[in-house]
Amino acid sequence: MALSMAAPAMAAAPAFPRLTMPLPPPIITLPDAAVPVPPPLSVVGRQRVAAKHKAVVVLGATGTGKSRLAIDLALRFGGEVINSDKMQLYKGLDVATNKVSPGECAGVPHHLLGVAHPDAEFTAADFRREAARAAAGVAARGRVPVIAGGSNSYVEELVEGDRRAFRERFECCFLWVDAQLPVLHDFVARRVDEMCRRGLVEEVAAAFDPRRTDYSRGIWRAIGVPELDAYLRSRGLDGVGDDERARMLAAAVDEIKANTSRLAFRQRGKIQRLARMWRVRRVDATEVFLKRGHAADEAWQRLVAAPCIDAVRSFLLEDQEYSSMVTAAKASIFASRAAAVAAAVV
């Protein structure tokens, strides 16, 4: 399945904000707009071998702010985002799948976002192939691939699948945006209410087909779609009053909240397993979700953005720092030998 890598222009439909405000300005000033990628060769012992490209992988349960962090990092380090959310891969239902809006993208190129037909079956192997191709293109442009999304099985397939081919080409920095589950569940419930205010029900109703009974394929698996089926069918039935429809809608919204909470729980469990396999940097965003407005943004910058920016900066520069250390060590050895020869001559 060959797909276009760049995201198509999306309609300016309202999308749920990642927290409460648009992306804030950077809080750490760098001398350049982006950190340059490491040189194509690095020093290992006395040999010069081809260096791997660098990629950043942002993990986290639904609602933790993965997209916001990915954009923060891409803006800081000259990166491009590769979506790894299996529902956001599909075209349509931008509110239900919580796709980032053009405004939220802040000019950062996004790949594998809204590229698959709604009825298509996009497998983990499809994702591995297309994401690897996208990452290679990003790296070839001298930029940093930032892979972000909630489908951890897709991320695992990319990193570990096909005989770990991706790991042969890319060195990965894994970041995990985490939060205490009770706090995250409360936030997820508020987010569903906000999505409803932004047109979730109307969006799903516009795509509703009464002939559809299978919600196990394509975009129709997205949370928010099957839960509304009974309510949407009731609108064409005689004998179902407004009060009954309102009750059915409220029940559907409660089911969306419960299913989203269950998803967050499962995702967090998968990430914990991946963290035992990979070297993962965890940041705790719990305080962010306990605050509102400017206080939430300040907590995001202090507890999530700043430590992740520091981690990625060190990750991107470590090859250059290692090469500098090797050069300095060689210079020191040469100077010591020269001094020893001079002393022997004297």
Q: pLDDT at position 241, please?
A: 86
Distance, CA of 108 to CA of 106 (rounded, Å): 6
Q: pLDDT at position 135, please?
A: 98
The CATH fold assigned to 41-180+279-323 is Rossmann fold (3.40.50)
188-257 CATH: 1.10.287.890
Q: pLDDT at position 235, please?
A: 83
Per-residue pLDDT tens over the stretch 104-153: 999 999 999 999 999 999 999 999 999 999 999 999 999 999 999 999 99
Residues of the chain with CATH 3.40.50.300: 41-180+279-323
Q: pLDDT at position 12, please?
A: 37
Residues of the chain with CATH 1.10.287.890: 188-257
**Beta-carbon contacts of residue 132 (< 8 Å; ≥ 6 apart):** 158, 165, 166, 169
Q: pLDDT at position 236, please?
A: 72
Q: pLDDT at position 237, please?
A: 78
Per-residue pLDDT tens over the stretch 301-313: 999 999 999 999 9
Helix, strand, coil percent content, the chain, rounded in steps of 5: 55, 15, 35
Dig out the tokens for 22 from the structure.
């648009």
For every residue of 128-158, DSSP letters joined together read: HHHHHHHHHHHHHTT-EEEEE-S-HHHHHHH
Distance, CA of 224 to CA of 259 (rounded, Å): 9
pLDDT under 50: residue ranges of the chain: 2, 4-49, 322-323, 325-326, 329-330, 333, 341
In whole angstroms, how far apart are CA 183 and each of 59, 180, 187, 261, 295? 18, 6, 6, 11, 16
Distance, CA of 55 to CA of 37 (rounded, Å): 10
Distance, CA of 284 to CA of 64 (rounded, Å): 10
